[in-house]
Structure 1
Amino acid sequence: MNHTEVVVIGGGQAGLAVGYHLRRLGLDFVILDAQPTPGGAWQHTWDSLHLFSPAAHSSLPGRLMPPQPGETYPEAAHVVTYLTDYEQRYELPVVRPVHVEAVHRDGEFLRVETDSGTWQVGAVVSATGTWSRPFIPAVPGRTEFKGTQLHTVEYRSPTDFTGRRVIVVGGGNSGAQIAADLAYDTDLTWVTLREPRYLPDDIDGRALFDHATARRRALDEGRTDTGGVASLGDIVAVPPVRAARDAGLLKAQPMFARLTAAGVEWSDGMTAEADAIVWCTGFRPALSHLAPLGLRGPRGHIPTTGTQALGEPRLHLLGYGDWTGPASATLIGVGRPAREAARALADFLNRPR
């Protein structure tokens, strides 16, 4: 049995950010990461993915991301290098690869069971993100389609689909970026639930973070909901998306009614044949390890106040989206809730028992 004050589950950007603050506060902690190498989910993205923001506005606490030569918006590989350096620079105690199987209550402690042993701890920070839980909607006929089906997490490069008929499903950033990636060398059909809503071309991640923060402040102060980022649009017009859109290559079709053996069919009887379908339909929070605590609420979320679970004060959740802090699923956005979580943990663990 291993012992420490805090176990952080997940060694991606959220886990490293809270680790930075836990170290500054002098807490004893360990970060358990299921990945064999540093970089979190960024090491598994498609080849052409770039950040929405310049490097200086995509940084974790304490260490600015250096610019990538020749790139205004850094590539995913640059983020992996940055996270690797960040982990080493602050000597964060990351143990990998360790898969956390379950978290249980154990009297005044929590018990973290893994494939590499058990930890008895005073508190847990879950920072596992969403990448490992891709979501594909239950569209009729999915099992009938004879072509290839893959999710965002499995897509890598347009060269894998050159000359083929490809349907991309999804009107968010991933859907738009992958559709733009495929628009030149494939017979592309882009399908969205509603007409694509592009943010103004001059808006990038800096403005998105400001809007998310302003919304959270308004809600906390009891003022009118500003709508946050969702009020601006769904798609950041990064340069590749803008180029494909302006060239007339990103013309979205409405969502189809069902899949067929050869492709898809709309409710009006129109059909389209396809060799492959790429589901850019989002993710769900990866929280199965917390099931023994019995905390799940609506939409699979665990109710929280800030990052602290309402039903278990020894548990904090970090980096899953706005419900665990404004823009907390982003590099720049996770810093503030990470700091607040670390301070709350220090207060909790140091109180008289």
Structure 2
Amino acid sequence: MEEVDVVIVGAGPAGIATSACLNHLNISNAVIEREDSYASLWRKRSYDRLKLHLAKQFCELPYMPFPPNYPRYLSKNEFVQYLEAYVSHFKITPRYDRVVETASYVGEKKWCVRVHNTLSDVQEMYLAKFLVVASGENSEGYIPQVEGLNSFKGEFVHSSEYENGKKYDGKNVLVVGSGNSGMEIAYDLTNWGANTSIVVRSPVHILTKEIVFLGMVLAKYLPLKVLDNIVVILGKLKFGDLSKYGLTRPKLGPFFLKENEGQAPIIDVGSINKIIAGEIKVVPSITKIQRNQIKFENGYSNHYDAIVFATGYKSTVLNWLKDGDQLFNDNGMPKHSFPNHWKAEKGLYSAGFSRRGLFGISIDARNIADDISFALNQNKKSN
């Protein structure tokens, strides 16, 4: 049994940022990670051409800015290099290959975390005054239930398994999901010679990274409604009316949707020009899959060789957290919205669940470390 002030579950950016903030304040902590490396989603489960969609000043972790020679928009490899330097600088030492089986609040105001070490095949136990859930929103890839999917004779994968489109040259590929990952994967597939379609079920805002950067700068000074009006106008000037291509705009503004519903705008990497040129076909929701034939709600059907599900992730917190109903809902997401999502009673915290990307992770990490430091100091005074 090991006793520390804080146990952190998850060694993604949220977990290592929280550990860094705690180390900065000399608060003992143990980071528990089920994979064999930190930031495994970035290292092993992201496609080759992935880049940060936001400018670097909105993506840096606490106490360590990006090197000045880094570009404004980082590639996946550049961000991983930054994380390597970050972990080394703050002396973060995650315990890898450890699967949390249960975490429960026990007597003496402590959390008991039972862990299976998959390398040594032994059980470990940690006791801590505080528990930080940093396994994040992207814990497990989500593939929706689609009628007939089990009959599909081609390949279907989640976007976390997609690396690049090399093997899909000349094949008919359907991308399901029109978020940033889906749009970028569709773009990549066409560059590799695939005949690409993408399912777009809902209205989406299409913006450029420059428009989003301007919006994030102006957000410090303008009311949300005014900001959204400016950003929408710029988006219209850049892309025009895309409704004839199957892309419509939501009635609510992009920054409002991001802040209140966690729905990010599409930051175009070149997919829109390919949609206009007919190289990427936009289709509505799937109604049925019958072997390799896929039917859509507008009556269109086509033969596909592969499907890539860019349909997001789901939280797995409730699989192991036994006393977390004060903080998490039935979907394993915080009950309360930002900025009140990160803290509950009994020393329980969440990091990386704000739906605000790396910028939100940095806010969470600082808040959690400061709150724990305050609680520990108060406890010392009372004793």
Corresponding residue number in structure 2 for 1:163 = 170
Q: Is the 8 A contact 1:29 1:93 kept in 2?
A: no
Which residue identity does 1:349 align to in structure 2? L
Q: Is the 8 A contact 1:163 1:187 kept in 2?
A: yes
Relative to structure 1, is the Cα distance of residues 158 and 210 closer, same or farther in structure 2, using a 3 angstrom cutoff?
farther
Q: Is the 8 A contact 1:57 1:206 kept in 2?
A: no
Relative to structure 1, is the Cα distance of residues 235 and 21 closer, same or farther in structure 2, using a 3 angstrom cutoff?
same
- Unpaired segments ≥5 residues, structure 2: 118-123, 225-252
Please state whether the residue corresponding to 1:343 is helix, strand or coil.
Answer: helix
Relative to structure 1, is the Cα distance of residues 290 and 256 closer, same or farther in structure 2, using a 3 angstrom cutoff?
same
Relative to structure 1, is the Cα distance of residues 206 and 97 closer, same or farther in structure 2, using a 3 angstrom cutoff?
farther
CA–CA separation in structure 2 for the residues paired with 1:106 and 1:119: 12
Give the superposition deviation at 1:341.
1.1
How many residues align structurally? 336
Q: Please list the CA deviations of residues 92-112 of structure 1 after superposition, one character each: whole Å capped at 9, or x if unmatched.
A: 232223222220122121101
CA–CA separation in structure 1 for the residues paired with 2:49 and 2:163: 8
Relative to structure 1, is the Cα distance of residues 291 and 178 closer, same or farther in structure 2, using a 3 angstrom cutoff?
same
Give the superposition deviation at 1:300.
3.4
Give the superposition deviation at 1:294.
5.1
Give the superposition deviation at 1:265.
0.9
Please state whether the residue corresponding to 1:3 is helix, strand or coil.
Answer: strand
Q: How does 1:93-172 map to 2 (within 5 A)?
A: 93-107=93-107, 108-116=109-117, 117-172=124-179
Q: Is the 8 A contact 1:59 1:332 kept in 2?
A: yes
Q: Please list the CA deviations of residues 195-225 of structure 1 after superposition, one character each: whole Å capped at 9, or x if unmatched.
A: 4431255224674597599899xxxxxxxx9
Please state whether the residue corresponding to 1:332 is helix, strand or coil.
Answer: helix
Is residue 205 of structure 2 the alignment partner of residue 197 of structure 1? Answer: yes
TM-score calculated relative to the size of structure 1: 0.85
Give the superposition deviation at 1:115.
1.2
Is residue 308 of structure 2 the alignment partner of residue 278 of structure 1? Answer: yes
CA–CA separation in structure 1 for the residues paired with 2:364 and 2:370: 10
CA–CA separation in structure 2 for the residues paired with 1:206 and 1:338: 26
Give the superposition deviation at 1:268.
4.8
| Greater Cα shift, 185-194 or 52-61 | 52-61
Q: How does 1:65-76 map to 2 (within 5 A)?
A: 65-66=66-67, 72-76=72-76
Corresponding residue number in structure 1 for 2:332 = 300
Q: Please list the CA deviations of residues 127-174 of structure 1 after superposition, one character each: whole Å capped at 9, or x if unmatched.
A: 112333111221211112111111111111110211111000111111
Corresponding residue number in structure 2 for 1:348 = 375
Q: Is the 8 A contact 1:285 1:320 kept in 2?
A: no
Corresponding residue number in structure 1 for 2:91 = 91
Relative to structure 1, is the Cα distance of residues 300 and 320 closer, same or farther in structure 2, using a 3 angstrom cutoff?
same
Corresponding residue number in structure 2 for 1:220 = none
Corresponding residue number in structure 2 for 1:219 = none
Which residue identity does 1:147 align to in structure 2? G
- Unpaired segments ≥5 residues, structure 1: 217-224
CA–CA separation in structure 2 for the residues paired with 1:277 and 1:243: 22
Give the superposition deviation at 1:126.
0.8
User: Percent of counterpart pairs with the same letter?
Assistant: 24
CA–CA separation in structure 1 for the residues paired with 2:276 and 2:330: 40
Please state whether the residue corresponding to 2:188 is helix, strand or coil.
Answer: helix
Is residue 350 of structure 2 the alignment partner of residue 317 of structure 1? Answer: yes
Relative to structure 1, is the Cα distance of residues 175 and 255 closer, same or farther in structure 2, using a 3 angstrom cutoff?
same
Structure 1 vs Structure 2 CA RMSD: 2.9
Relative to structure 1, is the Cα distance of residues 13 and 187 closer, same or farther in structure 2, using a 3 angstrom cutoff?
same
Q: Please list the CA deviations of residues 22-62 of structure 1 after superposition, one character each: whole Å capped at 9, or x if unmatched.
A: 12222111212223123342112101111112334421111
Corresponding residue number in structure 2 for 1:179 = 186
TM-score calculated relative to the size of structure 2: 0.79
Which residue identity does 1:348 align to in structure 2? A
CA–CA separation in structure 1 for the residues paired with 2:223 and 2:7: 31
Please state whether the residue corresponding to 2:129 is helix, strand or coil.
Answer: strand
Q: Is the 8 A contact 2:106 2:112 kept in 1?
A: yes
Give the superposition deviation at 1:339.
0.8
Give the superposition deviation at 1:254.
1.0
Q: Is the 8 A contact 1:256 1:264 kept in 2?
A: yes
